[in-house]
Structure 1
């Protein structure tokens, strides 16, 4: 049985009008990860922006490693 799509993994406010959202979803029947800014529409509902990062779930581990390295370098730069 397939999982419901999309699955929101995480989201947090980017600023007063936008939210950053990480989702697992599908495109043309293939699983993908989608990192996108969502904005509040005139009706008050969140709407996805056109730009973002969407890639195959096969890239998730490398993406996570790259983000962990970026965090490590940021922490080192703060010292």
Structure 2
């Protein structure tokens, strides 16, 4: 049997950025749910109290699939640059 994988007691925010002028944010976090370690990339909306709340818009997949997701994102970035969809080639 393999070694037991570590579990996170609380989600760990890896990155976040504003998605639009309404102060919606995209938050990327690592977490454990029912024994599965996940990467969660989700849109959060600002509520009336000024707090960010998660929305149903996003994805959560096992961290073991993270290399495949990173490869797909990098392919999308390269294609967007090739098609001139990004101004000045900025990647941030």
TM-score (structure 2 length as normaliser): 0.77
2:46 matches 1:32: no
Given candidates 4, 14, 24, the residue that maps to 1:9 is 14
Q: Shift of residue 51 of structure 1?
A: 2.5
2:58 matches 1:42: no
Aligned length: 79
How far apart in 2 are the matches of 1:61 and 1:49? 25
TM-score (structure 1 length as normaliser): 0.88
User: Aligned-pair RMSD on alpha carbons?
Assistant: 1.8
Given candidates 66, 77, 81, the residue that maps to 1:75 is 81
Q: Shift of residue 54 of structure 1?
A: 0.6
Structure whose alpha-carbon radius of gyration is higher: 2
8 Å Cα contact 2:43-2:54 kept in structure 1: yes
Gaps of 5+ in 2: 1-5, 85-92
| Higher strand proportion | 1
Q: Shift of residue 43 of structure 1?
A: 1.4
- Give the 3 Å change call, closer, same or farther, for CA 2–32 of structure 1 in structure 2: closer
